Amino acid sequence: MNYSRRRDRLRALIKKAGGEALLVTHEINVGYLTGFSGDSSYLLIHANGETILSDSRYDTQLAEECPGLEVATRTSSKPMAALISELVGSHRFTSLLIEGDSLSKSQFDRFSEILPSTELLSTSGLVEQLRAIKDKDELAEIRRSIHLAQRAFDAIRATMTPGQSERLIAANLEHQIRLLGGTGCAFKPIVGVGPRAALPHAIPTDRRIEESPFVLIDWGAKAGKYTSDLTRVLVTGKAPAKLAKVYQTVLDAQLAAIAAIRPGVTAAEVDRAARKVIEDAGHGKHFGHGLGHGFGLEIHEEPRMSSSNTRALEPGMVVTVEPGIYLPGWGGVRIEDDVLVTVDGHEVLTSVPKDFESSIVDM
């Protein structure tokens, strides 16, 4: 990972935002900029350098993960606030950007107290702007995460039995991902049998596969620090005609959205491509969430693939495309794939079959 290049790109954003320096307080952003995998640490970055603010627990880890990076270590007698005051004061900054999204109001007020001579400017999304565009090393990790997720799903599908519960399927996914070398699940798997598939974020229960002819599974793996996110509906019994019709509508909507993905097209336009198919089928009110989201170090990142986001897609963005139709009391269908925006269009990174015939499980 080219951490120094990321920090240099951030310096340009800091200058554009009108600050002399930025105090990075979101732990994931600190890791993105330095490679550090610990917690309870901040990063002060400015035009002439950067310093990670940590404590003695991480002295050896910082030396291994962030060689050459300047470190300021706090002790039991010098809390983080004192360390910040000392370091910022030594540079005599008149203004300091703060990551407002990761600080509570009480923390911001505390920083204001300890830095009376420095104007604190709350910012939002500076580092996240950079994280939205994945570099080649990040894409390699995301591809590995997808590979693990798909292999785990194949194992779960091959061993699925009527008596298995939603909860057991979720646990087995986690187990398989770890057996394959993954860090674990990217998020708690969503498993919904029959009517529970109408819950977009269904929490797995003891409801069994045999209690309905279909099940929705939304899962992802974490490989190292990077995530993946997929959804499939499996037909586990005699499929009602309604299921086949709803399934095809969702699949058509997803394919329309994927076809629309290319640089320069806005997230809202891609969302609209899918939403129109579902609306034309009479299910507009049954698709209430956005089309998808970016992902990477976190499962939800920029860009948001929604009707309100007019940001244009750029090469290097990786997004989910996950339209759905949810019918309370009956069930729901969602189909989700991970898509990379390329220089001349897009690449679908996931490859789990998704035509209706492929969704039928012989148990």
Question: What pLDDT is stored for residue 141 in this prediction?
Answer: 97
Q: Which candidate, 278, 275, 187, places its Cα nearest to that of 231? A: 187
Q: Mind listing the pLDDT tens digit for each residue in 37-62?
A: 999 999 999 999 999 999 989 999 99
Banded model confidence at residue 75, pLDDT cuts 50, 70, 90: confident
Mean pLDDT of the chain: 96
What pLDDT is stored for residue 363 in this prediction?
Answer: 84
pLDDT tens digit sequence for 250-270 = 999 999 999 999 999 999 999
Res. 1 pLDDT band, cuts 50 70 90: confident
Question: What are the backbone angles phi and psi of residue 127, rounded to the nearest 5°?
Answer: -70, -35
Residue spans per domain, the chain: 3-130, 136-359
Query: Domain spanning 136-359: which CATH class is it, in words?
Result: alpha beta
Asked if residue 21 lies in contact with residue 44, where contact means CB atoms within 8 angstroms, the answer is yes
pTM flag (> 0.85): yes
In this structure, what token pair is assigned to residue 164?
Answer: 């298995």
- What is the separation, in whole angstroms, between the first and last Cα of the chain? 44
Architecture of the structural domain at 3-130: 3-Layer(aba) Sandwich (3.40)
SS (H, E, C) 217-236: EEECEEECCEECCEEEEEEC
The answer to whether 221 touches 152, Cβ cutoff 8 Å, is yes
Give percent above pLDDT 90 in the chain.
94
pLDDT by residue (tens digit) across 312-340? 999 999 999 999 999 999 999 999 999 99
CA distance 152 to 173: 6
Is pLDDT at 242 greater than 90 in this prediction? yes
How open is the CA angle 222-130-86, to the nearest 5 degrees? 100
Helix H, strand E, coil C: the string for 58-84 is HHHHHHHHCCCCEEEEEECCECHHHHH
Tokens of 321: 């495309």
The predicted structure's pLDDT at residue 359: 97
Classify residue 18 by burial, with Cβ atoms within 10 Å: 0-12, 13-18, 19+: exposed
